[in-house]
Amino acid sequence: MVGGGNTLSMLAVWRAHGVDAALRAAWEAGVVLTGGSAGALAWFECGTTDSFHLDKMEPIHDGLGFLAGSHCPHYDGETQRRPLYHSLIAGGFPAGVAIDDDTAVHYVNTGIDEVVSAREGATAYRVETGPDGAVVETPLSARQLV
């Protein structure tokens, strides 16, 4: 379980000490890996973060890449996230998964198995460009836990 925090710093420390390689070996051996916020973003190739400046969201391009594409945590919880993510996707950033606060996405291997939510109305979304180049946000069905 990897908690939230500064994704940029976390990845740098992991890489400096070989934790990234140990996590990959664990993942390839079938160990369940989980995390929230920065701890979820780390598993993807790229995503959105405030790691560079606390008052500004920016893309991060060097996640661990266990899961293909991009990730945007706090999709409904931080006002800069959704517009930045849409702008990045429109500009060629890899398509990906955005997750509202109080929501989790369960992957089996590299595919989404289930979305669960602890709050009514909260879910996850597939965000990508459509055939016309416009950003398409597709809500994923979430099972409410409470």
- Domain boundaries of the chain, sorted by first residue: 7-144
State yes or no: pLDDT of 118 exceeds 90: yes
CA distance 69 to 121: 25
Region 107-120: mean pLDDT is: 97
State yes or no: pLDDT of 107 exceeds 80: yes
CA distance 141 to 125: 9
State yes or no: pLDDT of 146 exceeds 80: no
> Rounded to two decimals, what is the model's pTM?
0.94
101 in Cβ contact with 122 (< 8 Å) = yes
The answer for residues whose C-beta is within 8 angstroms of residue 107's C-beta and 6 or more apart is 67, 113
Please indicate whether residue 74 is annotated as part of the active site: yes
Indicate which residue of 37, 51, 70, 117 is catalytic: 37
Mean per-residue pLDDT over the chain, rounded: 96
pLDDT tens readout for residues 63-93: 999 999 999 999 999 999 999 999 999 999 9
In angstroms, the Cα distances linking 120 to 10, 106, 114, 143 are 31, 18, 16, 9
Query: Which tokens in the block code for residue 23?
Result: 């996590």
pLDDT of residue 39: 96
Indicate which residue of 51, 74, 86, 117 is catalytic: 74
